[in-house]
Amino acid sequence: MSMKDENKVSRRRVIGGLGASLASVVVSPAFAAPGAQQAGYAGTKELTDPTTKYPRPPFKSQLQPWPGLTSKMEPRPDHGETSYKGSGRLMGRKALITGGDSGLGRATAIAYAREGADVAINYLPVEEPDAREVVDLIKKAGRKAVAIPGDIREEAFCKKLVAEAVRGLGGLDILVSNAARQRTNESILDITTDEFDWTMKTNIYAPFWIIKASLPHLKPGSSIIGTTSVQAYNPSADLYDYAQTQAATMNFVKSLAKQLGPKGIRVNGVAPGPIWTPLEVSGGVPQDKLVSFGGDTPIGRPGQPAELASIFVQLAASDASYATGQIYGSAGGSGQP
């Protein structure tokens, strides 16, 4: 064989060997993206059918005095107490969550703590039993927990709330405006001025006061997250006042995102559909509708707070740095956006 022929053979061997090496890189699990699951390897999880993952209607008729307690609901909601596993996505962050004792606020508090954040929660004094459970779960995650009971319908308390959160956490870089009042009324004629004012103060005035008090503490990279609802897009006839406030929340998110974007502060919202929380069993849904609650969604059941926790984590995490002014829906297929 001539020298020229030997060179051709050598080149074919090198190129062939390189191709084989590249192929091994493509298929080798060692080069998979961090956290990726490989089929057939340890840690792989089976698919879960969302239609049967949690309880479906019919539910037991049950009515609690407003604002209701998680501990007295049947079935008891899942907030991720035993299921949420963190991965350090919010390590060292400092979060204030209103309505942090139950529902989406509770699920968010648990998730944030397990992702490495210190957490302050606000709630009404009558919700202390639920709040104590949340505080214990935050501490078990190895994070600092600050409990601040009080009524956010009062401007003075809202200012105090932020000051105590900042002092207790050593700063603030995540604000979750989640607390809300929801009461069903068949007719506008059934809503008194005092009740209307209660809903507006809780759902619209309080976020205004709390955000104003928080802004001097929020540095570039901080996040504000508002909990709105499908009621902002598709209001129910019997939630006249509540639906208005959810539309207002959606719009404060979009407006404030434009205002604070240049300062490096992101503002986003989460719009749940029917979620199994104390709001529903304390007058937020008529008893005849409570029995079938969530059954008209394509998934066929209401959502559980735990199913939305990861959305709140994503919106607060630094790897979502280009998301602002967005509303993220989670409504079992029945809602917008």
Which residues carry out catalysis? 242
In angstroms, the CA 59 to CA 91 distance is: 39
**DSSP count for the chain of H helices, then E strands:** 10, 7
Q: How far is CA 299 from CA 49, 57, 268, in A?
A: 10, 11, 25
- Residue 92 in 3-state DSSP? coil
Close Cβ partners of 3 (under 8 Å, ≥ 6 residues apart):
none
Q: Which residues in 230-245 are b (16+ Cβ under 10 Å) and which e?
A: bbbbebeebbbbbbbb
In angstroms, the CA 196 to CA 280 distance is: 18
Give the bridge partners for 271, in sequence order: 329
